[in-house]
Amino acid sequence: MTTHPLFDIAGRTALVTGSSRGIGHALARGLVEAGCTVVLNGRDPRALEKAAADLGGGTGVAGVHTAAFDVTDGPAVAAGIAEAEERVGPIDILVNNAGTQHRAPLLEFTDDAWRQILDTNLTSAFLVGREAARRMTTRGHGKIVNICSLQSEVVRPGIAPYAATKGALKMLTKGMCADWGRYGIQVNGLGPGYIETELTRPLVEDEEFSAWVRGRTPAGRWGRTEDLIGALLYLASPAADFVSGQVLYVDGGMTSVL
Ligand code: NDP
């Protein structure tokens, strides 16, 4: 097998937030398969141990490590990243993936639910991104990939707060690119379409909605978590060294059609 050297990221170290399951776990798997040392993150240490075992190693084995911390908690983020770097060395690649979804009409959306979705989907990327970038700037290189959404671009009834967080995450991506480019850090977004995970299970199980997704997607199907790996590996690789501030949509074409 030959791979162009521009796509070689073997030996790099990556932190993937929210990687105990779903998209984050699949992205972590892709990075491990590309030869990276990967730090898995989530709030539940036991779920992380299981996730690490699924990737072929327990904690600290086979290049897979775990760091349990809440990405919405500033001091916990700072301590978690400091501790992870002590164990595995400098983090070259950060994937801000942790996120949540709460579907409800805006008129019924509570203050608490609003703050929670903003904290989890947007403030988290600021807190983790700032902490990682403080370290990357001193080294003069780094790759940050923020997991946006097709809802960074479009919105449907009942999902306005989620779309607001993902639209803002797109602009935070561009702002990070503007601020940190001079330090050799590239910051991009990856925008999944409808992907089957625990988060979207209620939608997958709703046959009417599920059929709507298939019908609206030029590719004619729901996305799988594995569909996102290639785009991440590209954005994390030297092939994307002059690509920054972009969002790469991996949505089977959905954001391009009416
Ligand atoms: P899941 O709910 O399956 O996984 C979410 C992950 O985030 C879990 O590992 C969870 O672990 C972790 N997490 C949640 N809150 C926190 C927190 N406060 N601190 C640390 N970790 C946290 O979601 P998906 O895999 O479906 O989604 C992943 C990302 O992709 C999200 O940002 C989502 O918005 C985005 N996305 C998903 C799409 C889809 O169709 N599935 C489409 C577009 C974007 P734990 O609960 O143990 O902390």
Residue 213 lies in a domain: yes
Strands (E), 134-174: 142-147
Residue 184 lies in a domain: yes
Pick the atom of ligand 1 nearest to 47's CA: 47
- In CATH, what number is assigned to the domain containing residue 71? 3.40.50.720
The tokens for 160 are 């306005």
d(CA 6, CA 22): 28
Residue 93 lies in a domain: yes
Q: Quote the pLDDT of residue 223.
A: 98
d(CA 11, CA 236): 12
The tens digit of pLDDT for each residue in 37-84 reads 999 999 999 999 999 999 986 544 459 999 999 999 999 999 999 999
Q: Quote the pLDDT of residue 212.
A: 97
- Domain region containing 13: 5-251
* CA 98 / ligand 1 centre spacing (Å): 4
Q: Quote the pLDDT of residue 60.
A: 44
* CA 96 / ligand 1 centre spacing (Å): 10
Q: Quote the pLDDT of residue 131.
A: 98
Q: Quote the pLDDT of residue 164.
A: 98
For residue 28, pLDDT beyond 80:
yes
The tens digit of pLDDT for each residue in 128-160 reads 999 999 999 999 999 999 999 999 999 999 999
pTM: 0.97
For residue 256, pLDDT beyond 80:
yes
Residue 258 lies in a domain: no
Residue 257 lies in a domain: no
* CA 97 / ligand 1 centre spacing (Å): 6
Axis-axis angle for helices 74-88, 124-139 (nearest 10): 40
Residue 82 lies in a domain: yes
Which residue is closest in CA terms to ligand 1's atom 7?
18
As for ligand 1, residues whose beta carbon falls within 6 Å of it are: 17-24, 41-44, 47, 70-72, 97-100, 120, 147, 149, 192, 194-195, 197-200
d(CA 80, CA 32): 20
**What is the chain's Cα-based Rg?**
17
The tokens for 39 are 């730090």
Q: How confident is the model at residue 8 (pLDDT cuts 50, 70, 90)?
A: very high
Axis-axis angle for helices 124-139, 160-180 (nearest 10): 10
For residue 258, pLDDT beyond 90:
no
Q: What is the ipTM of this complex?
A: 0.99
End-to-end CA distance of the chain: 40
Q: Quote the pLDDT of residue 62.
A: 57
Which residue is closest in CA terms to ligand 1's atom 23?
199
Residue 106 lies in a domain: yes
Tokens 């929670």 correspond to what residue? Answer: 116
- Residues that are catalytic: 162
* CA 43 / ligand 1 centre spacing (Å): 11
Residue 166 lies in a domain: yes
Instruction: Read off the pLDDT of each residue in 100-107 and give the average, rounded to a whole number.
Output: 96
Instruction: Read off the pLDDT of each residue in 97-123 and give the average, rounded to a whole number.
Output: 97
Q: How confident is the model at residue 3 (pLDDT cuts 50, 70, 90)?
A: confident
Cα–chain center distance at 238: 19
Count how many domains the chain has.
1
The tens digit of pLDDT for each residue in 180-237 reads 999 999 999 999 999 999 999 999 999 999 999 999 999 999 999 999 999 999 999 9
Q: Quote the pLDDT of residue 1.
A: 67
Instruction: Read off the pLDDT of each residue in 88-97 and give the average, rounded to a whole number.
Output: 98
Contact 161/117 with Cβ under 8 angstroms?
yes
